[in-house]
Amino acid sequence: MTAEAFNEELYWSVIDILNGLLTGTIIGGYYAMISIGLAMTFGVMRLVNLAHGDFIIVGAYLAVVLLNFLPISPFFTLTIVIPIMFCLGYVLQRVLLNHVSVQAMERKGLSANYGLMAPILVTFGLGIFISHVLLGIFESDARQLKNSLAFSAIRLSEDLNISLLRFIFFGLGIVILILLHLYLTRTHAGRAIRAASDDAEVSPLMGINTAHVYGLALGISMAIAGAAGVMIGMIRTFQPFDGPQFLLIAFGTVIIGGLGSIVGSLVGGILLGITQVLAGTYFGPSAQLVGGYMLILFVLAFKPQGLFSK
Amino acid sequence: MSISEHKRGFFAEEGRGGKRPLLTVSELSAYYGELRALFDVEFQVMPGEVLAIIGANGAGKSTLLKSMVGMMNRGKTAHTTGSIDMRGRRLDQLTTEKIVDAGVTMVPEGRRLFPRLTVEENLLTGAYLPRCREASEDKLVEMLDMFPRFAERRTQIVSQMSGGEQQMVAVARALMSDPQVVLFDELSLGLAPAIVDDIYEKVQQINQAGVTCIVIEQDMKRALRVSNHVLVMLEGAIVLEGDPKDLNEDQVSSAYFGSEIGRASA
């Protein structure tokens, strides 16, 4: 091998790795957005929300509806989608999920096991219900939120570039995670959410109404899911039954990063993203998902509590 | 109980010592499912006093305190009957968070701090009620003054602290809601005697600041020493009540163990 050919090869392997790290990190930011809501509802209410992926798709379709009426950029739909999703989440928790929680089952004189199982079944049913309602309204055509940035890229060098849109979403994701962190640590309501997550039985002694706090938690979870949905809708096409694949990504991210940690969700998302992209680069596109699941299995086998759980 | 008896408690202007009671508990019974744990408990709590409740394990002391802060209102799993009146307001009909808002709170058995929150966050969570939020920072400073040991540890996660320190945080957290009445459930459980002395010193301090205190205490001598009034419970009922100065230890221990065993040991 000539020196020139060797240099060429070295150059491309560096580019491959850099590309994997960069793209993986960028994707990880959006994986974190997809998963943080799931981690939060589990952390606070021990709720395994199987409808989480469907909530993400609802966010994307809400943007579709808004764009039908308002001649705005899909970015601005976030300002309407986020509050609507928050309200939906709050109401859903108070009128439905609070009535099947561990505490509710206890009030009915049933074992806590019912309270762990019932919400899983309810959210499973809810997910199916939501996707069928979406199918009824929007039919099964693939949709996308059209925007002018879809094909723009940031060029870092001749052979290295990243999607501008994904980069913006990465930044937006970080901003949302920081805001969530500040909310949870600096406000009375945020601390109440964490307190109820630590000890729901004693938190009423602080004057905390757990039913309300749980409503806030699902509201926030759905608001972030909705934001993630809008972002997904701008990057790729979506259909009413796409929810479960995002639920899987969210589960994966949460398993890697550990529950109840915002940093964990971000790092878990980034690790999953990088693994997928590198696996795809070295072993072909079909290895992408396998690579991701290998990482999840690896973490489950050796650190089942996740890399960042306390 | 007849209605007239009930009303006497309800509207009583005068209780012990000629003062108007702050809390009047009438015919209070508590149930875990079908199992009855309290049997028509009746007593009054005078403003500004330290009331000690003593009794063997399973006598219903903790259940009584839980009932007073609404923590026994759990549908079919646990419920209470009877009334708890606070100057005309029926606490037994309120949820725990409303009772705390009304000025009655509890330091639960086993401390029950929020383990993943820092000292400061645990305290601020105690000031969650809207009426406490504005003054929460001042109150925090007040608590750090009262418990100087926290000052340098305010950002520490509470699960890393010793049992005694955690108990102090639990006491301070309860005070953050600016209560009129604090119920202390088994303050000394699992703590070294020297630390328990410290904690009871704080209880005295809190009481001198005008807060009415109700303590459950396993150590009978300590209970008689720190309190103005004692209730002795046995099998879910109050079997002896009085001023600790007027009660002798034999009387209390025979009530504590049930008369037969008490007499035998005395």
A191 versus A305: the higher-pLDDT residue is A191
Chain B residues inside the 8 Å CB shell of A191: 117, 121, 124-125, 128
Strands B212-216 and B50-55: parallel
Count of the separate structural domains present in chain A: 1
pLDDT (tens digit, 9 = 90+) per residue, A79-114? 999 999 999 999 999 999 999 988 889 888 888 888
Measured in degrees and rounded to the nearest 5, phi and psi for residue A278 equal -65, -40
Picking from A106, A109, A192, the nearest residue to B125 by CB comes out as A192
pLDDT (tens digit, 9 = 90+) per residue, B25-41? 999 999 999 999 999 99
CA distance B256 to B219: 12
Nearest-by-CA chain A residue for B176: A206
Question: Which pLDDT value is given to residue A310?
Answer: 57
Average pLDDT over residues A285-293: 90
Residue A141 identity: D
Average pLDDT over residues A256-275: 88
DSSP 8-state code for residue B19: P
If you write DSSP's letter for every residue of B24-90 in order, what string do you get? EEEEEEEEETTEEEEEEEEEEE-TT-EEEEEE-TTSSHHHHHHHHTTTT-BTTTEEEEEEEEETTEE
Residue span of the structural domain in which A126 resides: 26-148+160-242
Average pLDDT over residues B144-169: 90
DSSP 8-state code for residue B237: E
User: What's the CATH code, domain B3-103+179-265?
Assistant: 3.40.50.300
Looking at the complex, does the CB of residue A305 fall below 8 Å from at least one CB of chain B? no
Q: Within 10 A of A298 (CB to CB), how many other CB atoms are there?
A: 12
CB atoms A205 and B100 under 8 Å: yes
ipTM of this predicted structure: 0.89
CA distance A201 to A217: 17
CB atoms A204 and B96 under 8 Å: yes
Question: Which pLDDT value is given to residue B4?
Answer: 42
A281 lies in some domain:
no
B237, B40 in Cβ contact below 8 A? yes
Measured in degrees and rounded to the nearest 5, phi and psi for residue B30 equal -135, 145
Average pLDDT over residues B42-51: 96
B256, B56 in Cβ contact below 8 A? yes
B198, B164 in Cβ contact below 8 A? yes
Average pLDDT over residues B165-193: 94
CA distance A66 to A296: 37
pLDDT over threshold 80, residue B1: no
- Domain ranges (residues) in chain B: 3-103+179-265
Question: Which pLDDT value is given to residue B260?
Answer: 52
Looking at the complex, does the CB of residue A207 fall below 8 Å from at least one CB of chain B? yes
When scoring B73, B76, B77, B128 by the number of chain A Cβ atoms within 10 A, the one with the most, hence best to mutate, is B128
CA distance A232 to A31: 10
Those residues whose C-beta lies under 8 Å from the C-beta of residue A199, and which sit 6 or more positions away, are B112, B114, B115
Question: Which pLDDT value is given to residue A146?
Answer: 86
Consecutive H or E run containing B213 = strand B212-216
- Tokens representing A147 are 């925007």
A270 lies in some domain:
no
For residue B197, name the pLDDT band (cuts at 50, 70, 90).
Answer: very high
pLDDT (tens digit, 9 = 90+) per residue, A17-46? 998 899 999 999 889 999 999 988 988 888
CA distance A276 to A293: 9
CA distance B243 to B22: 17
CB atoms A108 and B76 under 8 Å: yes
Question: Which pLDDT value is given to residue B7?
Answer: 43
- Tokens representing B230 are 């004692």
CA distance B105 to B175: 8
pLDDT (tens digit, 9 = 90+) per residue, A149-196? 877 888 888 888 888 988 988 998 899 999 999 999 999 999 999 999
B30, B64 in Cβ contact below 8 A? yes
A13 lies in some domain:
no
pLDDT over threshold 50, residue B3: no
Question: A86-100, A193-207, B5-19, B161-175: lowest mean pLDDT where?
Answer: B5-19
Closest CA to A232 of A145, A151, A147: A145
pLDDT (tens digit, 9 = 90+) per residue, A216-264? 999 999 999 999 999 999 999 999 999 999 999 999 999 998 876 788 8
C-alpha distances out from residue B101 to A43, A194, A205, B55, B131, Å: 27, 20, 9, 29, 8
CA distance B208 to B27: 30
Handedness of CA A265, A271, A277, A283 (dihedral sign): negative
Looking at the complex, does the CB of residue A107 fall below 8 Å from at least one CB of chain B? yes
- Tokens representing B219 are 């150590």
CA distance B125 to B113: 10
- Tokens representing B150 are 């926290």
Question: Which pLDDT value is given to residue B14?
Answer: 67
Q: What's the half-sphere exposure (Cβ side, CA atoms, 13 Å) at A40?
A: 30
Strands A153-157 and A160-163: antiparallel
CA distance A42 to chain B (A): 16
Consecutive H or E run containing A297 = helix A287-302
C-alpha distances out from residue A137 to A64, A91, A130, A240, B43, Å: 12, 22, 11, 10, 64
Those residues whose C-beta lies under 8 Å from the C-beta of residue B247, and which sit 6 or more positions away, are B224, B230, B240
Chain-centroid distance, C-alpha B108: 8
Closest CA to A247 of A83, A67, A74, A126: A126
CB atoms B115 and A198 under 8 Å: yes
A/B interface, count of CB pairs below 8 Å:
83
Nearest-by-CA chain A residue for B109: A202
SS3 content of chain A, % helix, strand, coil (to 5): 75, 5, 20
pLDDT (tens digit, 9 = 90+) per residue, B227-261? 999 999 999 999 999 999 888 888 888 888 876 54
CA distance A252 to chain B (A): 24
B56, B218 in Cβ contact below 8 A? no
- Tokens representing A252 are 């994966």
Question: Which pLDDT value is given to residue A159?
Answer: 83
pLDDT over threshold 60, residue B262: no
Nearest-by-CA chain A residue for B116: A198
pLDDT over threshold 50, residue A271: yes
3-state secondary structure of A155: strand
Give, to the nearest 10 degrees, the angle between helix A3-45 and helix A188-198. 80
Strands B89-90 and B104-107: unpaired
Question: Per CB distance under 8 Å, which residues of B are interface residues toward A?
Answer: 33, 69-71, 74-77, 95-97, 100-101, 105-106, 108, 112, 114-117, 121, 124-129, 132-133, 136, 173-174, 177
When scoring A98, A186, A198, A205 by the number of chain B Cβ atoms within 10 A, the one with the most, hence best to mutate, is A205
Looking at the complex, does the CB of residue A146 fall below 8 Å from at least one CB of chain B? no
Chain A residues inside the 8 Å CB shell of B106: 205
CB atoms B71 and A201 under 8 Å: yes
Average pLDDT over residues B176-185: 96
Question: Which pLDDT value is given to residue B200?
Answer: 94
Residue B167 identity: Q
Chain B residues inside the 8 Å CB shell of A198: 114-117
A218 CB-contact burial (10 Å; exposed 0-12 / middle 13-18 / buried 19+): buried
Question: Which pLDDT value is given to residue B248?
Answer: 80
Chain B residues inside the 8 Å CB shell of A208: 97, 125, 128
A111 versus B87: the higher-pLDDT residue is B87
pLDDT over threshold 80, residue B12: no
Picking from A109, A195, A207, the nearest residue to B77 by CB comes out as A109
Question: Which pLDDT value is given to residue B149?
Answer: 86
Question: Which pLDDT value is given to residue A135?
Answer: 97
pLDDT over threshold 70, residue B10: no
